[in-house]
Structure 1
Amino acid sequence: MRVLFAGTPAVAVPSLDALVEAGFNVVAVLTRPDAPLGRKRVLTPSPVAARAAELGLPVIRAAKVDAEATAAIAAAEPDVAAIVAYGGLVPPAALAVPRHGWINLHFSLLPAWRGAAPVQRAVMAGDDVTGAVTFQLEEGLDTGPVFGTLTETVGPEDTAGGLLERLSRSGAVLLAQTLSAVESGRAVAVPQSGDITLAPKLTLEDGHLNWSHPALAVGRQARGATPEPGAWTMLAGQRVKLEPVRLRPDVTGLAPGAVELRGKSVLVGTASHAVELTRIQPAGKKMMAAADWARGIASLEGVVFE
């Protein structure tokens, strides 16, 4: 089959590699335009664009799938399109181009967590199990029938980033298997069933830890917001970035947000028991061990995170 691959971030790269390694004829790669990165705002290709260049594949750069992008897709004459985290909607005109349509690799067990941030929302919600599916892309938001499914256990210390990295690798295998089934005529798509939950893209505020919540919820929020948009709190009117915290059920009695140093542990109170900070980045400084940050302060007495 002639395959168009659509994707943008690093989590889509394993899928592109898997399709090439499986012997599919990837005729073009659709990705979002180069974006300014770093302090110097240097225009940088997306991870998928960079990998496509290494593989010698033609690249279509488009911020959205408009008439121009649709024409470029049609010119590639794909039999099927595989899409993984492209970052934009595919309109009906483009959906109709490949004879086998568009097959989406989505990192949740649909219909749970339809939307842009399924892994982050699953971690924040405390799901014990998540996974990935391949499904037929439709006009609706992640509503199409499902071809294949895999499951993945969510560990107690999993961050969204770590879990997504694992799913990107196992999901790449699932995507290649699905396209093989489509090519051979063996693929069967089953309508989604079950409870629907939505996973909108995370905002900066989603990383703002709420110390008035129980410790378990604080820990899930921090892990779900890592690495993006990042967990953070306010201290003396300034935003302070945090890496995921450890639960400390052995420490109680600290008021929500109150910070205390016990031995080498920097503890913060919640609505239940305390949590222990791992690393912290004060405003204008680099990320550092929480104990080093605490030693640099004259006293933690009266220090409260908000």
Structure 2
Amino acid sequence: MRLVFMGTPDFAVASLNALVEAGFDVVGVVTAADKPAGRGQKLQESAVKQYAVAKGLKVLQPLKLKDPEFIEELKSLRADLQVVVAFRMLPEMVWNMPPKGTINLHASLLPQYRGAAPINHAIINGERESGVTTFFLKHEIDTGDVIFSEKVTITSEDTAGDLHDKLMNVGAGLLVKTVQAIADGNYTEQPQLQSDELKHAPKIFKEHCLIDWNQPGQSIYNLIRGLSPYPTAFTKLNDKTLKVFKAELEEKETGLAPGAFLSDGKTYLKFATKDGFIKLTDLQYEGKKRMQVDEFLRGMRL
């Protein structure tokens, strides 16, 4: 069975590698175009492209997915099945092209957390469980018939980065299982249940990352975990941005207004919330490197 793989970031590399290692015939890899990045604005290749080039796989980098030249080149690969992991929305002329269709790996237990940021939102909402789902693409985003899913536990300390890595590895295995099942014709498709109680995972913008100290401590703690290491929750200190990567929750009476902070100037810095404190442990002050709180306090006058 001839496969075309579509993906861009590190999350997708694990899946592509799993397919290659399992011996599937990956005849082409579609990924994002090289983009300028960093101070020197040098062109940077996607993680998927770097892997594909290292493995000698054919790489396509269309700027527009409806470009006639790209469509013809994609057709020429004669894929039986297309596999999408952490890529962008596909036009119907692309996802409907292979005879066996196009499947997607999504980082949630569908139909919950459809959208661009399922990992972040699961932790922000305090979930204790997430997972990965494989499904066939159709018109509405993340609504296609489910093939397989697998659950993953979220601990009370897990950040979005921790959950990302768990789902990346579990998802790679699930994807191999899915492709093999399609190759063998040994699978069933399950329509996604419709409900008014579905939770969504829209794209996160900077305004969603500002900490509101008037919220309960648990909600703030979950926000910090759910945005770490990227795009990162932040607050303001001396009119400068203070990013918070990790923190601890202290549930007790503070006697302080939400947003006020306490510090001994050496080992701790904590902000009052609606019902306790959030103790910052791993942070980055505007213009500085990321550091532990004791290192930050040694060079900072509060």
How far apart, CA to CA, are the structure 2 residues paired with 1:292 and 1:97?
A: 55
Q: What SS does the corresponding residue of 1:156 show, helix, strand or coil?
A: coil
Q: Does the 8 Å CA contact 1:131/1:150 hold for their aligned counterparts?
A: yes
Q: 2:63, 2:205 → 1: CA distance?
A: 20
Match of residue 147 from structure 2: 147
Q: What is the one-letter code of the residue matched to 2:287?
A: G
1:193 aligns with 2:193: yes
One-letter amino acid of the structure 2 residue matched with residue 89 of structure 1: M
Q: Distance in 1 between matches of 2:35 and 2:115?
A: 23
After TM superposition, list the pairs within 5 Å mapping 1:136-285 onto structure 2: 136-195=136-195, 196-250=198-252, 252-262=254-264, 264-285=267-288
196-205 or 92-101, larger mean C-alpha shift: 196-205
Q: What TM-score, normalized by structure 1, do the two folds share?
A: 0.93
1:5–1:82 Cα contact (<8 Å) kept: yes
Which residue is equivalent to 1:89?
A: 89
SS in 2 for 1:200: coil
What is the CA–CA distance in structure 1 between the aligned matches of 2:230 and 2:180, rounded to whole Å? Answer: 34
Residue by residue, what CA displacement relative to the aligned partner does 1:119-165 show, whole Å, maximum 9, x if unpaired? 10111111111100000011111000000010011111111111011
Q: Does structure 2 retain, via aligned residues, the 8 Å contact 1:254–1:274?
A: no
- Paired residues of 2:253 and 2:275 also in contact (CA < 8 A): no
Of 233-242 and 15-24, the range deviating more from structure 2:
233-242
Q: CA RMSD in A?
A: 1.5
Residue identity in the other structure for 1:70: I
Identity across the alignment (%) = 38
Unaligned runs of 5+ in 2: none
Cα shift at 1:251? 6.0
Structure 2 counterpart of 1:102:
102
Segments of structure 1 that go 5 or more residues without pairing to the other structure are 301-306
Contact 2:260 2:271 in 1 (8 A): yes
Q: Deviations over 1:185-219 (max 9, x none)?
A: 11211001154322111112222111111111111
Deviations 1:238-257 (A, max 9, x none): 22222121111256333211
The residue matched to 1:245 in structure 2 has which SS? strand
Give the stretch that moved more between structures: 191-200 or 273-282: 191-200
Taking the aligned partners of 1:251 and 1:23, their CA distance within structure 2 comes to 59
Q: In 2, distance between residues paired with 1:165 and 1:62?
A: 28
Q: Could you tell me how far apart the structure 2 residues matched to 1:234 and 1:168 are?
A: 33
Counterpart Cα distance in 1 of 2:63 and 2:253: 49
Quick one: distance in 2 between partners of 1:295 and 1:257? 22
Counterpart-to-counterpart distance in 2, 1:71 and 1:122: 39
Is the Cα contact below 8 Å between 1:7 and 1:48 reproduced in 2? yes
Q: Is residue 65–residue 89 contact of structure 1 (8 Å, CA) maintained in 2?
A: no
Pairs aligned (count): 298
Which piece of structure 1 moves more, 35-44 or 17-26?
35-44
TM-score normalised by length of structure 2: 0.94
Q: Which amino acid aligns with 2:179?
A: L
The CA distance in 2 between the partners of 1:8 and 1:249, in whole Å, is: 41
Alpha-carbon offset, residue 66 of structure 1: 1.5
* Superimposed CA distance per residue, residues 89-134 of structure 1 (whole angstroms, 9 cap, x where no aligned partner): 1111112211111110000011111111001011111111110000
**Equivalent residue letter for 1:294:** L
**What are the residue-to-residue correspondences of 1:13-32 with 2, within 5 Å?**
13-32=13-32
Partner letter of residue 281 of structure 2? T
| C-alpha distance in structure 2 between counterparts of 1:100 and 1:183, whole Å | 9
Deviation of 1:235 after TM superposition, in Å, equals: 2.2
What secondary structure does 1:233 align onto?
strand
Amino acid in the other structure paired with 2:282: R
Q: Which residue of 2 aligns with 1:304?
A: none
Which residue in the other structure is 1:303 paired with? none
Match of 2:44 in 1: 44
Tell me: CA distance 1:155–1:63, structure 2 relative to 1, closer, same or farther (3 Å). farther
In structure 1, how many angstroms separate the alpha carbons of the residues matched to 2:73 and 2:208? 37
**Which stretch of the first structure deviates more once superposed, 240-249 or 179-188?**
240-249
